[in-house]
Structures are given as structure tokens and as C-alpha cells.
A and B are shown apart, each in its own frame.
Chain A
Amino acid sequence: MPDSNVYNDRVVTVLVVLSLVWAIAGMAAGVFIAAELVWPTIDLGQEWLSYGRVRTLHTNGVIFGFGVSALMATAFYSVQRTCHVTLFAPRLAWFCCIAWNLVVLTGGISFLAGWTSGKEYAELEWPFDIGITIVWLAFAVVFFGTIANRKVKPIYVSNWFYGALIIVIAMLHVVNSLAIPISIDKSYSLFAGAQDAIVQWWYGHNAVGFLLTGGFLGMLYYFLPKQADRPIWSYRLSIVAFWAFTYSYIWAGPHHLHYNAIPEWVQSLGVVMSIILLAPSWATMVNGVMTVAGAWEKLKTDPALKFIVLALAFYGLATFEGPMLSIKSVNVVSHFTDWTVGHVHSGALGWNAMITFGTFYFLVPRLVGAELYSIRLANIHFWLALAGTMLYILSMWGAGVSQGLLWLSLDELGELSYGFRDIMASMAPYYALRFVAGAVFLTGAVLMFYNFIKTMENRTTVTRRIPEVKTANVVAEVAA
């Protein structure tokens, strides 16, 4: 019987390690497909190594393998500490950890075998969709069960974000995955035509919103004050930002479908809500930047805080660029170009990966009760991550804007000036640069992995007793 007076951190450690494995595997798949765009024959004529299949493995590996494992780990870690109780249903937490990773692993193999539903970021076929739903419900039971058992009355803001992640992703996943199976490896969506597209991007954009933004904001709101050793700059602002974020994000999906066969007013609504989103996004950025600004002395000893500072800068960029790209007169040039890919990666590399790296540099040594093996390696990782992200964004800005300009260009007769094939052939240098950028970023991640292996070597997770509740004020409690 698990001891209810200690935190249940072993499951957190395992989730962190699995997340790291997915980070390396998913990013390596990304570097491989980046190389394929420069040297297409490296798939050796094998279908399972073709761009279309490995690309899906890359996106699902980094989002659901690396990202969600990290979110589960940090949610389990922080919800116990903000509630001053051990995890509710610890066996179910282990089930989440193992079953989730099995679903992503077998799902990844199914992509290589050619199974796909054809819906971006929801490519897994129906058997995996059912698996995800079961694991997600278990995640909800553990998380909300722990909150229900809490000894501190107010629910700290990080838990609001993790809670929104769990509820909204459940809703999006179930609705978008409604389908009629025709065989074990193929199903067809319950929705047809334009409605299917609207449901898909309602899912797709809010997966970005509530998983890649909301979930990771939960991580930020718990781990940033912890690392800075002071409360969040404005707790009130964080709550206002939460509700504004939750309300406005859910409407923004149609901006993925500009100039498509969906009603004009739906597109316009998508633009308006996307622009409104800038306010809560930047409110959070300001809150984070000001919290770190008061804790500058920590930078002397803490390599992790640097990652968080930079993650906030890229969060600022990505959340500004997104609304800007949703404006129709910008979107007409940027859509279907690599500008979008650059935008996604300024969020994915600059924000999601950096904030997770920063959190793990804080978390791993504490989980095993040891000093980080090498601060020098962590610092090298920081510069590699920054250089990789900047190179990636630059190459995709160059490629994307050129593409947008070239394939809208008309000659004197009103014909298209350039053929699609010619334009794509001229993109090779940009893609080569993007390959280098990805390889630089991956190298940094490998260094981090090695650093953590050495830190964890011959150690087990430290058992920590749950302290008595000192105050009813959870904000002060988190910083303590």
C-alpha cells in the first residue's frame, strides 16, 4: 500500500525519462525528413521511410511522446505539491504513464506501416483513438482526484491550466475522432466536406492552444516561481489571462481555412478571435518576464532559468506571429508556404522545447537528489538550442516569403510567372539550412540526455514527505 504521507515521484521520474527518449526519437525523425527534402533518395525506395510516413511519426512523436509525457510528469509532480497530498489512485497514474507511451509507440509504428486517418495531428486510426480516450480519462481521474483531496483550499493557477488541458483535449479528441471504421486500419470521419474541415481545425488549432500553449503554461506557472524562488509577479493577471485565453482560443480554428469553402463570416470570426488572443498571451509573457526580472541573482547558479527566459521571448514571438498570420491579407501569401512551418517551430522549438528543457534541468536533479552532472554541458545546450531555433526560423522565413511571392507572381499576360516545380527546386538551399538548424537543435538535446543519464546514474527517486500546510495562501505556499 503506497504511503499517503509522501509524494509519489517515481512515476514522475519514469515519465520524464520517457519524454526525453521521445524528444530524441521525434527530433531525429524531424532531422531525417528535413534531409529527405534536400536529398530525396535517402529513403532508399522504402515506403516506410518516405516523407509522408516519417513526418507523421515526427509530429506525433514530439507532440504526444515528448510533449504529453512531459506534461503528465509535471502535472503529477506539481499537483501533489500545490495540493499537499499524494497522487490520487497511484496505480492509475502508472497506467497513464505506461499505456500512453505504448499507444504513442504502437501508433508511431502504424504510421510507418501506412495507417493514417488523414487528419493533421489526429492521424492515428480508430483503435488508437479509443486507447487515447481511455488513457486520457485515467489522467483526468488521477489529476482531478488529487485536487479533490487537496489540503489547501485555493486551487493554484497551474492546476487551472492543466485542468483545462485535460478537459478540452478530451472534448476535442472525442469529437474530431468520431468515425465509422471499415477495417482495423481504416475509418472514415463522421463529418463530411467543409464541416469535417471545420471540426478538424477546431481540433487542430485548439490542440495547439490547450496542449502546446495551455498545458505548457501550467508548467510555466508552477516551475517558474519555484526556480525564481518568489511568487508570480501578478497572480491576479495570471487568473485574468487564464479566463481570457480559455474563452478566446476555442474560436480561432477557422483561420486555418481562409479562402476555403467555409462561410466567410466563420473565417472573419477566426481572425477577430485570433487577434484578441494576443492580449492574454502577452499578459502571460509579461507576467513571466517580470517574475524572472526580480530573481536575476538565481542566474548565477541555475542553468535552467536561462531556458525559461528565452522560452518567454519565443513565446512572445510565436503568439504575435500567429495572430498576424491569421489576417487574411497576410495569410493569402503565407498559407501553404514554409512560413507556417517556421511559425510552428518558433513555438515548438523556442517555446515548448525550451520551457520543457528548463523545467527538466530543474526537476531531474531534485527527483534523484543529486547535483546536475555538468552545468557546462547545460550551458552549451542553451546556446545550441538558441542557434538551432534562430537558424530554423530564418531559413523558413526566407523560404516561405519567397514561395508566397513566387507562386502569386503573374507575367504581362496574366499567366503564373513560375511553375510549382521550379519554385520547389529553388528551395533546396533553404531546406539544407533548415536541416543544419534541426541537427544543431538535436545535438543540444542529445547533450542534455547524456547530462541527465550521468545525473541519474546509480540513483533512485528520492522519497519526500509531504510538509504540513503552513498557510492558506497557496501562492506563497508554492514559492516556499
Chain B
Amino acid sequence: MIFVPVDVLVQGSRLFPRLSEETASAGVVIAKDILPLALLPPIFLYIGSTLLGWEIGAEHAIRMSPNILFLVSLCYFSALLFGLIGLAILLRWMAPTYDASLELSRHLTLVATVATPMVVGSIAHLYPHVFVNMLSIIPVLIWSMFLLYRGLPILLQTTPQQGMLMASSLIGIVLVAAVTLLGITVVLWTHGFGPSLGL
């Protein structure tokens, strides 16, 4: 039985042929792989923010009460869960275009694999400083992208060329999703949710 988050760390891209052979239902992959991945970053965030507070760059750190931080962490968890499962569904939607497998469990497994390095990088949340967290993203992002381009054709059973195109489309989607999250956050701030702004 493969436990994606741990096995990816131990075996890296050598895991893909084994992952491709193992069949589990979509529900099992969500419960076993996706849930723990979505749970860890909010936990790191909660611990780091309650102990140290967020440093955005100037003078003192921003501190919030544990209750609000719990709410923020809960929203973070929901966003991650929605994002990870949503990406798998989007991949399945794109699959016919790139002659890829239509089994949702394979798409979920791929998303879990690619997300694992990012979750490892989220350990940086324990020290909530924006720049430190951004720096920590860089190596894990490279690792995630390597896993995506390497693993997609194997897991989704398509040619390397079509896999390359599908992976690039996914990067486009993830970039748009990332900037949407930024936009939503900023709109929430300007409407009074979050830090007090002079608007």
C-alpha cells in the first residue's frame, strides 16, 4: 500500500511506475493522501502565527488572537482541500484532449504527488515571515514541477509529448488560481476583513 506523501519523499520520481500500477478508488486517495496534505500547512501556520506572529517586512510582527487564527487556518484548510480536489477534476476534464486516463483516482494521485514537496515547504510557516516563506517555495516549486512533468505521462497513461502539453496547461491554471487567491484576499482586506487599512 503506497502512502503518497511519504513515499514521494523517499523515492521521488522512481515511485511513478508503482503508483501507476496500484489502483485505489478516488475516495480512498482523498482520505489517505489528499486530506493529510491539506491538513499539515494550516497546522504549521497556526503554530507559527500563535507563537511568533506574521512579519510582513517592517518593524513589528502582526499578531492575531488564537480564535481568529483558528478561523484563518480553517479557511486555509478548506481552500487547500478545494484546490487539490478541484485541480484533479480539472485534470480529468482536460484528459480527453490529451488522450489521458479518465480515472479520477489517477488524477488525485498525481495532484497528491505534485503537492507533496509544496507541503514539505510549508514547514516554513512555523517561522511566519513573508520573505522566508517565499524563499522556501522556490526549491520545492522546482521539485514539484519536475514531478509534474515527469509523472504526468506515466500516471495518466499518455505520451510524454501530450503529457508535456497537459502539464503546461495545468501550470497555466495554477498560476491563474494563485493570482485569483491573491485578488480575493485583497478584496476581503479592502472590505474590512483582516488587517485594518486606511480606506
Residue of A296, A299, A306, A404 with most partner-chain B CB within 10 A: A296
Majority secondary structure of chain A interface residues (helix, strand, loop or mixed): helix
Chain B residue with minimal CB distance to A290? B97
Whether, in the assembled complex, B1 has its beta carbon less than 8 Å from a beta carbon of chain A, the answer is no
Q: Verify A406–B198 contact, CB threshold 8 A.
A: no
Chain B residues with CB under 8 A of A314: 172, 175
Chain B residues with CB under 8 A of A390: 141
Whether, in the assembled complex, B86 has its beta carbon less than 8 Å from a beta carbon of chain A, the answer is no
Say whether, besides A329-B190, A329-B191, A405-B189, A423 and B165 are in contact (CB < 8 Å): no
Interface residues of B in 16-74 (CB under 8 A from A): 56-59
Chain A residues with CB under 8 A of B161: 296-297, 299-300
Chain B residues with CB under 8 A of A387: 142
Whether, in the assembled complex, A397 has its beta carbon less than 8 Å from a beta carbon of chain B, the answer is yes
Chain B residues with CB under 8 A of A316: 172, 175-176
Majority secondary structure of chain B interface residues (helix, strand, loop or mixed): helix
Whether, in the assembled complex, A468 has its beta carbon less than 8 Å from a beta carbon of chain B, the answer is no
Q: Verify A391–B138 contact, CB threshold 8 A.
A: yes
Chain B residues with CB under 8 A of A324: 179-180, 183
Q: Verify B186–A329 contact, CB threshold 8 A.
A: yes
Whether, in the assembled complex, A333 has its beta carbon less than 8 Å from a beta carbon of chain B, the answer is yes
Whether, in the assembled complex, A402 has its beta carbon less than 8 Å from a beta carbon of chain B, the answer is yes
Q: How far is the CA of A404 from the CA of B38 in the complex (A)?
A: 28
Chain B residue with minimal CB distance to A334? B186
Whether, in the assembled complex, A472 has its beta carbon less than 8 Å from a beta carbon of chain B, the answer is no
Q: Verify A306–B180 contact, CB threshold 8 A.
A: no
B65 CB to closest chain A CB (Å) equals 16
Q: Which of B77-85, B113-121, B129-137 contacts A (4 or more CB under 8 A)?
A: B129-137
Q: How far is the CA of A313 from the CA of B178 in the complex (A)?
A: 13
Contact with B along A311-324 (1 / 0, CB 8 A): 01110110011001
Chain B residues with CB under 8 A of A334: 186
Partner of A317, one of B165, B176, B187, B199: B176
Q: Verify A408–B197 contact, CB threshold 8 A.
A: yes
Q: How far is the CA of A16 from the CA of B70 in the complex (A)?
A: 57
Chain B residues with CB under 8 A of A330: 183, 186-187, 190
Q: How far is the CA of A427 from the CA of B58 in the complex (A)?
A: 9
Say whether, besides A327-B187, A333-B186, A422-B59, A321 and B179 are in contact (CB < 8 Å): yes
Q: How far is the CA of A332 from the CA of B198 in the complex (A)?
A: 11
Partner of A333, one of B130, B168, B189: B189
Chain B residues with CB under 8 A of A467: none
Chain A residues with CB under 8 A of B162: 293, 296
A-B contact count (CB 8 A): 124
B196 CB to closest chain A CB (Å) equals 5
Q: Verify B165–A292 contact, CB threshold 8 A.
A: yes
Chain B residues with CB under 8 A of A300: 161
**Number of chain B residues close to chain A: CB under 8 A:** 41
Q: How far is the CA of A405 from the CA of B57 in the complex (A)?
A: 10
Partner of A409, one of B165, B171, B195: B195
**Number of chain A residues close to chain B: CB under 8 A:** 54
Contact with B along A263-275 (1 / 0, CB 8 A): 0000000000000
Contact with A along B2-20 (1 / 0, CB 8 A): 0000000000000000000
Chain B residues with CB under 8 A of A409: 195-198
Chain A residues with CB under 8 A of B75: none
Partner of A296, one of B59, B165, B185: B165
Q: How far is the CA of A435 from the CA of B196 in the complex (A)?
A: 32
Whether, in the assembled complex, B98 has its beta carbon less than 8 Å from a beta carbon of chain A, the answer is yes
Q: Verify B97–A320 contact, CB threshold 8 A.
A: no
Q: How far is the CA of A316 from the CA of B162 in the complex (A)?
A: 19
Whether, in the assembled complex, A39 has its beta carbon less than 8 Å from a beta carbon of chain B, the answer is no
Q: How far is the CA of A398 from the CA of B142 in the complex (A)?
A: 18
Q: Verify B138–A394 contact, CB threshold 8 A.
A: yes
Contact with B along A285-309 (1 / 0, CB 8 A): 0000110110011011000001001
Residue of B159, B179, B191 with most partner-chain A CB within 10 A: B179
Q: How far is the CA of A473 from the CA of B183 in the complex (A)?
A: 45
Q: Verify A402–B130 contact, CB threshold 8 A.
A: yes
Q: Verify B198–A299 contact, CB threshold 8 A.
A: no
Partner of B131, one of A292, A333, A391, A398: A398
Q: How far is the CA of A416 from the CA of B137 in the complex (A)?
A: 31
Chain A residue with minimal CB distance to B99? A296
Beyond A309-B168, A394-B141, 4 extra complex contacts between A and B, CB < 8 Å: A289-B169, A290-B97, A332-B199, A410-B197
5 A/B residue pairs, CB under 8 Å, sorted by A: A299-B164, A313-B168, A317-B172, A334-B186, A397-B179
Give the interface of B toward A (CB within 8 A).
56-59, 97-98, 130-131, 134-135, 137-138, 141-142, 159, 161-162, 164-165, 168-169, 171-172, 175-176, 178-180, 182-183, 185-187, 189-191, 195-199
